[in-house]
Amino acid sequence: MRPVSTVNRAILVKVLEILDSSNAGEALAAAKLASTMVREAGLSWGDVLAPEIGTPALPLPAIGHATGTGPFGYRRDQRELSPHEQFFMVLLSPRTPSEIKRKLRGLEARVLDGEITPQETQDLKFMYQSFVAG
């Protein structure tokens, strides 16, 4: 029996579209975020690509134009994003200054390994609020 999917296909599509970025770092970050979304939903890429997966979620309104809609189409009443998800959204956001993105690159391996400090977690949450959700 296939696990119940919690991945929003519309969001996954938006993340995957970034794979076409001319910036290799952004494309890699998008690939990592997409893989995390699939894994955390309890799915494999085979499940996602299977023709019997059904119809995609309803199209999302434009980001920032609907009440209750957050960055990348996440609903604000959904679960709090993990530091890993916040990290990649900050990294992918066009609002994040280049110097912040450069500093984040040095933190990437530790974020992926879940080894960031509580202070770094708070800093990441602040950056997410400032550059993505704000």
Could you tell me what percentage of the chain is helix, strand and coil, using 3-state DSSP and rounding each to the nearest 5? 60, 0, 40
Place of tokens 């939903």: 41
Assigned token pair, 19 = 């794979």
Q: Return the domain boundaries, the chain.
A: 9-133
pLDDT at 104 over 80: yes
pLDDT at 67 over 50: no
Better-scored residue on pLDDT, 56 or 88: 88
pLDDT at 119: 93
